[in-house]
Amino acid sequence: MRQLFDQQTATDLEFESMRLLLSDACHSATAKERMLSLMPLRKFDEANLALNQAAELLQIRNSQSSFPRLEFEELHLEIQRLGIAGGVVDLEGFVRLLDASNLMNNVLQFFKGEQELFPNLHALANEAYYTNGIVKPIDKVLDQRLQVRDSASPELQRIRSSIATVRRDISKNFDKVLRKLNREGYLADTKEAYLNDRRVLSVVSSFKRQVPGNVVGNSKSGNFTFIEPQENMALNNELEMLLDDERTEIRRIFLALTNEIRQLLPLIEIYQKVLCEFDFINAKVRVAQRMDAQRPAVENESYVELINAYHPLLLLANKEAGLKTIPQSLYLDKFCRMMVISGPNAGGKSITLKTVGLLQIMVQSGLLVPADASSKFGWFHHVLSDIGDNQSIANQLSTYSYRLKRMKFFLEVANKRSLLLLDEFGTGSDPDLGGALAEVFFETLYNRRSFGVITTHYANIKLKAARLRNAQNASMLFDSESLEPLYQLSVGQPGSSFTFEVAQINGIPQEIIEEAKTRLDANKVEMDKLIATLQKEKSEIEQLNKASRAAEQAAIEAKEESDLLSEHFAERLQRQQQLIEKNNKDLSNGKKMGQFIQSYRMKGQNKPLLEEIRKFLAIEKSKLVKKKEQAKVKMDEPIQVPKPRPKKNKKEAPKATPKPVVVGSNVRMMNGTNKGEVIEIKGKEATVMFGIFKTKVKVEELEVVG
């Protein structure tokens, strides 16, 4: 791919502008440089991996997660110094190592346990490993202000204590001399200054000999002389020596720290590689978010399926200007490999062609694209273009000569894995002769089974596309009433060039346009008019179809909503009916209890009422007990083997076996007539309810009836 993606194609498709846009989104110099030389990848798997990584990071960024900011300083100098025996990393280098280690640890922590959700970024991050082997040693030496701690070594602590003592003595002596000279009137208005990091007196020059000390400078006017007080001269020298001792000790500490961290040099090199790779991917995502880009499907076959696709640079420019951008949709596969787009100038033909080419190159470079996620991209070995006026003064080539050389190159490399983008195909020469040659070129590329998008005004090219089985015509729509381009691609028929309409838009007098029409072949004018009419009618039909589809979808959604509401109301009605039944039952019981209460309040009727209530409750209780006892009897009842019947005398009648008395049985007293219900059995004694009366009877005196 890299050999046959040439600089001319990059220029034609404005891929250079995309590189600059991506480079500006990078943080590290390594990622910026890599973006500026971005090229389509050689292998399909490499591009697929790059797209997956970008898509995963886009998902993370869009989810408002706590993914760390990928801002860091590169570690080239630190890696170089760690790789040299005796090399020492300086303070700024340790700060960079500390930041890089913390950032990498945070990235690793984020992806911990996220292998299934973000497998590609998880694998990239895990080229490194989590460790405090860099952070802890540096934290022992540097404080929160990223300065060397006093406690970094006992010697440094002693030196800094001495420095503090000397500085206090210097300040004490200076203040004493300052007050004395100020009273004597020897000092200027500013009284003091700092020269070479030393505090000095600002003395009026005429009194400089009255002030003992070391003259270190003068003011520009010469009116003031800067003098180091004699009392501080020795102390300042001592301070300088202590400061030198401090620098020496810090260097010794840094050397020891460098030697300790040197063993982790391979990991630090991985930090540099992985963090720059994340920065590179993050730049893709930052640009993708600006243009609402997504990851399309990519297959290792030759085809293109764009759905609501935008030209990236046009989309960003229109967003900034507050303008609307019209998306384009088209499809190319082995059954329809060549698309010939015709229509008026300034109608969007070239933008459509560039959109196809630029998006294809972006996908093969591992970039997300502004198109519907259902869009599909194939894989081409050659993506080549011939767009615009490419005269070469240096090589003394005219536009047509350049295009012929370009076509010669296409004919040499074109095959079934080629995507060719040809703008204004066949122009630059005599219309008839150039058109004839363009037709032959077109047919030759078609026979090579190449894929291509071609824009043209030539009728013979449109006709050839209509006749070839695996080619198709398309046109850019134009509103013949408002005389405005619609920037919409319509596939299936050629388009009129709207030559006279475009001329009218640009202010050409009507009489000139009418005169031009008289000089054309009447059949050609009529044909162009017919194409324009068909194009208009097709546009109207498409609008009607679109409205019809929208209405159909609305009807489907309304029906689904109605079905859901019907189901909801049916469930609600059922619940209400159940509630009504429950309420009626509760109301009936409430009325019964109300009657009991009312009767109870009436004097003289309490005793019968209480008996009736007891009967009511006893019956309800007996029903429950009966159910339990029946269940128990069924479980505990022994299996009775029937005894053999004795031989009967023909004159004797058979005797029936009496039924056992159990709780719930309807019984009567032997030789009695009143019936009652057994509500309890204890031993050989049963409690029986006779009407509202309850009595205890021996079981053997009862017989089951009914």
Report DSSP letters for 361-379, one per residue: HHHHTT--BSS-TT-EE--
Around Cβ 82, how many Cβ atoms within 10 Å?
Answer: 23
Q: Are residues 398 and 467 in the same domain?
A: yes
Per-residue pLDDT, 142: 95
List the Cα angle 193/195/201 in 5-degree steps. Answer: 40
The residues, any chain, with a CB within 8 Å of residue 546's CB and separated by 6 or more, are: none
> What's the mean pLDDT in 551-574?
80
pLDDT band of 641, cuts 50, 70, 90 = very low
CA distances from 337 to 96, 112, 340, 472, 475 (A): 54, 46, 10, 8, 16
The residues, any chain, with a CB within 8 Å of residue 438's CB and separated by 6 or more, are: 425, 426, 456, 458, 460, 461
In a domain, 140, yes or no: no
Report DSSP letters for 464-533, one per residue: HHHHSTTEEEEEEEEETTTTEEEEEEEESS-----HHHHHHHTT--HHHHHHHHHTS-HHHHHHHHHHHH
CB-CB contact of 181 with 231 (8 Å)? no
Task: Give the strand pairing for 376-377 and 304-309.
Answer: antiparallel
Least confident of 65-74, 107-116, 184-193, 614-623: 614-623
CA distances from 553 to 373, 544, 546, 558, 566 (A): 21, 14, 11, 9, 20
Element (H, E) at 386: strand 382-386
The residues, any chain, with a CB within 8 Å of residue 58's CB and separated by 6 or more, are: 285, 288, 289, 293, 294, 295, 368
**CA end-to-end distance (rounded Å), the chain:** 101
Per-residue pLDDT, 651: 46
Output the average pLDDT for the chain. Answer: 84
What does the buried/exposed string (b/e) look like for 618-655 if buried means 16 or more CB atoms within 10 Å of the residue's CB?
beeebeebbeebeeeeeeeeeeeeeeeeeeeeeeeeee
> In the predicted model, is pLDDT for residue 1 greater than 60?
no
| 2 or 670: which leads in pLDDT | 670
pLDDT band of 582, cuts 50, 70, 90 = confident
Least confident of 215-219, 292-296, 346-350, 629-633: 629-633
Q: Are residues 274 and 369 in the same domain?
A: no
Most confident of 57-66, 279-288, 380-389, 404-413: 279-288
pLDDT band of 537, cuts 50, 70, 90 = low
CA–CA gap between residue 78 and residue 269 (Å, rounded) = 10
What is the CATH number for 170? 1.10.1420
Per-residue pLDDT, 437: 86
Q: Are residues 595 and 672 in the same domain?
A: no
Per-residue pLDDT, 394: 42
> In the predicted model, is pLDDT for residue 305 greater than 90?
yes
Q: Are residues 368 and 414 in the same domain?
A: yes
CA–CA gap between residue 156 and residue 146 (Å, rounded) = 16
| Percent of residues, the chain, with pLDDT higher than 70 | 80
Which of helix, strand or coil describes residue 454? Answer: strand
Q: Are residues 682 and 565 in the same domain?
A: no
> In the predicted model, is pLDDT for residue 329 greater than 60?
yes
Least confident of 100-114, 266-280, 452-466, 494-508: 494-508
> In the predicted model, is pLDDT for residue 314 greater than 70?
yes
Range of the domain at 399: 304-498
CA distances from 3 to 34, 48, 480, 501 (A): 18, 20, 45, 44
Residue 315: left if φ>0, alpha if ψ -120 to 50, beta else—which one? alpha
Most confident of 290-294, 456-460, 526-530, 562-566: 290-294
- Tokens, residue 358: 């630029």
Per-residue pLDDT, 653: 47
Q: Are residues 380 and 478 in the same domain?
A: yes
In a domain, 161, yes or no: yes
CA–CA gap between residue 381 and residue 414 (Å, rounded) = 10
> In the predicted model, is pLDDT for residue 68 greater than 60?
yes
pLDDT band of 391, cuts 50, 70, 90 = very low
List, for residues 647-688, the tens digit of each pLDDT value.
444 444 455 667 788 888 888 877 667 778 888 888 888 888
Q: Are residues 183 and 269 in the same domain?
A: no
pLDDT band of 124, cuts 50, 70, 90 = very high
The count of structural domains within the chain is 5
Q: Are residues 414 and 475 in the same domain?
A: yes
Closest CA to 623 of 567, 666, 679, 585: 679
Q: Are residues 703 and 559 in the same domain?
A: no
Number of helices and strands in the chain (H, E): 20, 19
List, for residues 401-443, the tens digit of each pLDDT value.
777 888 888 999 999 999 999 987 766 666 677 788 888 999 9
In a domain, 19, yes or no: no
List, for residues 209-230, the tens digit of each pLDDT value.
988 998 988 888 888 899 899 9
List, for residues 585-636, the tens digit of each pLDDT value.
667 666 666 666 666 555 455 666 666 666 666 776 676 666 666 656 555 5
List the Cα angle 688/689/693 in 5-degree steps. Answer: 120
pLDDT band of 2, cuts 50, 70, 90 = very low
In a domain, 168, yes or no: yes
Q: Are residues 72 and 118 in the same domain?
A: yes
List, for residues 150-161, the tens digit of each pLDDT value.
999 999 999 999
- Which position has the token pair 């764009």? 306
> In the predicted model, is pLDDT for residue 639 greater than 50?
no
Sign of the C-alpha dihedral computed for residues 328, 331, 336 and 338 taken in this order: positive
In a domain, 621, yes or no: no
Q: Are residues 465 and 388 in the same domain?
A: yes
382 exposure class (CB count in 10 Å sphere: 0-12, 13-18, 19+): buried
Element (H, E) at 125: helix 119-125
Backbone Cα Rg of the chain: 50
pLDDT band of 239, cuts 50, 70, 90 = very high
In a domain, 605, yes or no: no
What is the CATH number for 684? 2.30.30.30
| 509 or 369: which leads in pLDDT | 369
What is the CATH number for 425? 3.40.50.300
Greatest alpha-carbon pair distance for the chain in Å reads 169
Backbone angles phi, psi at 629, to 5 degrees: -65, -40
Per-residue pLDDT, 392: 46
In a domain, 412, yes or no: yes
In a domain, 377, yes or no: yes
Among 559, 574, 599, the domain boundary falls at 599
Closest CA to 690 of 660, 658, 666: 666
> In the predicted model, is pLDDT for residue 3 greater than 60?
no
Which of helix, strand or coil describes residue 222? Answer: coil
Q: Are residues 188 and 281 in the same domain?
A: no
